[in-house]
Structure 1
Amino acid sequence: MKPANTIAWDDTVLPFQLDKSDIRGRVARLDGVLSGVLKQHAYPETVEALVAEMALLTALIGQTISLRWKLSLQVQTDGPVRMIATDYYAPTAGGEPARIRAYASFDEERLTDGAPFDQLGNGYFAVLIDQGDGMKPYQGISGLIGGSLQASAEAYFAQSEQLATRFSLKFGKSVEPGVGEHWRAGGIMLQHMPKASPHVSGEGGSGESGLLLAKDVVNEEDMENWNRANILLDTVEELEMIGPSVPPTDLLVRLFHEEAPRVYDAQQVKFGCTCSEDRVRQSLSIYSAKDIQTMTTPENRVEVDCQFCGAHYDLDPTSVGFEAKKDGDAAGA
């Protein structure tokens, strides 16, 4: 059992606003979410670190969007870690938690002793917003830069959304009395309010390969406020972010008391997967009987494992694909 003082703020995202600086933000703490994500796989520690960072970014970004269904973040690279994918599902009803899932694909023999971000190589950071049936999905892509996923996410917002955005993230393995070693993460996101972001010309920015950065999309008159908030954020300590003793509300007062922080209702998040047998059958419905046969095991079964949660589906090959036998086919033959 976890100590009581870790329960209230674990696996939550707290929205806030700095009224004097025209800046909004989020504070997130993840514990059980990361346990749910990582226990599904035997990832090397360097891969776990990347998945933890990506899940934390997903929680922070997902809560900023007026979302009807799903936000997906994805990194694809030519490095040892080929892909990291995360999904954030909006609450289905008021008071319900949001759900997060994540997984990584990697070549273990190519992993090095370098830092986690060094395992990514060249690639891109993508954001996909899917509002559900009848709505066209939105996708934005930016490069991987700055030596971290958080820097790449900041560049995405500057480049694709022209929003000045800053993340401060802490994550790692924690050992508490009476609790086994497990991953914890905490993060703060700052974002200049959209109305304060200027139109940017196509001349390029000050980042790598001409990418826009936060300083390129803040009006000159607002730069002092933005810089001051970032300087205050730089004073945050790791234990304040992921430790059990400082509630996020106290942390915001400590960091930003002169900026008049105002908090809103916290959003609970949990690990959750949307896979089901019906969804698996739907994904296989585009294949012919000949295609299905190539997926069939020697035991005459089609077996599918969910990459996110590890759920195993064992199906009759004659029951899947667009040529699948319908109920009553055998009787009418």
Structure 2
Amino acid sequence: MTLASKLAWDDTVLPFQLDRPDIRGRVARLDGTLDAVLAQHDYPPMIEAMVAEAAVLTALIGQSIKLRWKLSLQIRGDGPARLIATDFYAPAEPGAPARIRAYASYDADRLARETDGFAAIGKGYFAILIDQGKDMEPYQGITPIAGGSLSACAETYFAQSEQLPTRFSLSFGRSAAPGEDEHWRAGGVMLQHMPKSAAEAAREGSGEEGLLHHGDLLDGAENEDWTRANVLLDTVEEMELIGPHVSPAELLVRLFHEEGPRVYEALPVQFGCTCSEARVRQSLSIYSAKDIGHMTTDEGIVTADCQFCGAHYEFRPETLGFEAVEGPDASG
């Protein structure tokens, strides 16, 4: 593969369908996008890895939904890794890239005593939130933290909340080609049985604490097709997922050539944040002048920092809240 063709597949999500077993899927590759997401913060390696896993999951899931605006993934726990949050913004217009951002909150002192990143989440929940924009009711689905990875949590979510058999195979980490600086790369494959074929879910799942497992949702010939596709996916190698020397289309042929893979147009993705001064003002518009006063620093300003991109904002307190006495454009 040439350098040009390698770069063409970096930071993309490729949709595909396996016609014979009626299974759809996505192949994601994140390179510069993942580097940009993680460069916004100086995370410990354990947190970096979980943010990377969440980012590639978000790219795969976000592209699989007919999304008009934003999909968010949230993992909250009572352990030292308190929160991992990601956002996937649909392209603003045809041909434009989707945008991804991510953020993590953690207790550094408690985290230092952990050796297993996933265990650092503790007990909590995995949630997917879909916001289709103005005048649309947001959707939220929640399942308990289960399995040994964020991808296992996502599989449980789709089985339990959506009753859609879903599998993920991911690889992520720091890599460096000869003559290049070390940087983050990630890749993954998502398989999902078409919704119209899913059978009625079992009352009791075979997963952790009785939660549904993707294998509980199908029977007969559909279950055989799903099992075969999963067995083939299990043969994938880490370097095939990450690339860069095997394109997503070549990977699909290697894995599923007997299943008749059919690919569609790839979606480019990039790091992007939607924070702005206007959005911060809007979020503070619910507060009274007294509340704003409590937020005001000794220097007489109100500050706000974006958790996703690190942007820093400063405001005059009299221009904020529902009791503002001056407009946002008042001179200082």
Question: Which bracket does the TM-score occupy, shorter chain normalised?
Answer: over 0.9
Query: If the length of structure 1 is used for normalisation, what is the TM-score?
Result: 0.96
Question: What 5-or-longer segments of structure 1 have no aligned partner?
Answer: none
**Paired residue secondary structure (1:61):** helix
1:150 touches 1:167 (CA, 8 Å); kept in 2?
yes
- Say which SS state the counterpart of residue 184 (structure 1) adopts: strand
**1:322 and 2:322 equivalent?**
yes
Matched residues in 2 for 1:309 and 1:206: separation? 40
Runs of 4+ that moved beyond 3 A = 2-6, 326-330
Residue 206 to residue 325, structure 1, CA distance change in 2 (3 Å): same
Q: 1:156-182: CA deviations, max 9, x gaps?
A: 000000000000000011112333211
2:49 aligns to what SS in structure 1? helix
CA separation of 1:167 and 1:277: change in aligned 2, threshold 3 A: same
In the alignment of these two chains, the number of paired residues is 329
Q: What pairs with 1:243-322 in structure 2 (closer than 5 Å)?
A: 243-322=243-322
Q: Which position in structure 2 is the counterpart of 1:229?
A: 229
Q: Which residue of 2 aligns with 1:78?
A: 78
- Cα deviation for residue 326 of structure 1 reads 3.2
Maintained 8 Å contact 2:320/2:328: no
Deviation at 1:329, TM superposition (A): 12
Q: Distance in 2 between matches of 1:318 and 1:200?
A: 56
Give the equivalent residue in structure 2 for 1:129.
130
5+ residue gaps, structure 2: none
Give 3-state SS (helix, strand or coil) of 2:9's partner. coil
How much identity, in percent, do the aligned residues show? 66
Amino acid at match of 1:158: A
The 3-state SS of whatever aligns with 1:25 is strand
- Find the aligned partners of 1:318 and 1:187 in 2 and give their Cα distance: 49
Separation of aligned partners in 2, 1:213 and 1:53? 20
- The 2-side partners of 1:65 and 1:274 are apart by 20
Q: Which amino acid aligns with 2:134?
A: D
Give the CA RMSD over aligned residues: 1.7
Is the 2:318–2:326 Cα contact (8 Å) retained in structure 1?
no
Q: Give the Å deviation of 1:307.
A: 0.2
Shift of 1:204: 2.2
Query: Quick one: structure 1 residues 137 and 328, their matched pair in 2 at CA, closer, same or farther if it must change by over 3 Å?
Result: closer
- Inter-CA distance 327–152: structure 2 relative to 1 (3 Å threshold): closer
Could you tell me which residue of structure 1 aligns to residue 240 of structure 2? 240
- Cross-structure match for 1:25: 25
Give 3-state SS (helix, strand or coil) of 1:96's partner.
coil
**2:319–2:328: 8 Å Cα contact kept in structure 1?**
no
Indicate conservation of the 8 Å contact 1:55/1:100, yes or no: yes
Match of 2:145 in 1: 144
Q: Secondary structure at the match of 1:8?
A: helix
Change (3 A) 1:209 1:281: same
With normalisation by structure 2, the TM-score equals 0.96
Partner of 1:120: 121
Aligned AA (1:161)? E
Distance 2:261 2:85 in 1: 33
Deviation by residue 1:253-301 (Cα, 9 ceiling, x = unmatched)? 0100000000000000000000000000000001111111111111101
SS of 1:62's equivalent in the other structure is helix
Q: CA deviation at 1:328?
A: 11
Give the conservation status (yes or no) of the 8 Å contact 1:99–1:269: yes
* Counterpart residue type for residue 74 of structure 2: Q
Provide the rounded CA distance (Å) in 2 between the counterparts of 1:85 and 1:329.
33
Contact 1:196 1:219 (8 Å CA) reproduced: no
Distance 1:263 1:246 in 2: 15
CA distance in 2, matches of 1:320, 1:179: 47
Q: Give the Cα separation in 2 of the matches to 1:121 and 1:5.
A: 42
Please name the residue that 2:66 is paired with: 66
Shift of 1:199: 2.1
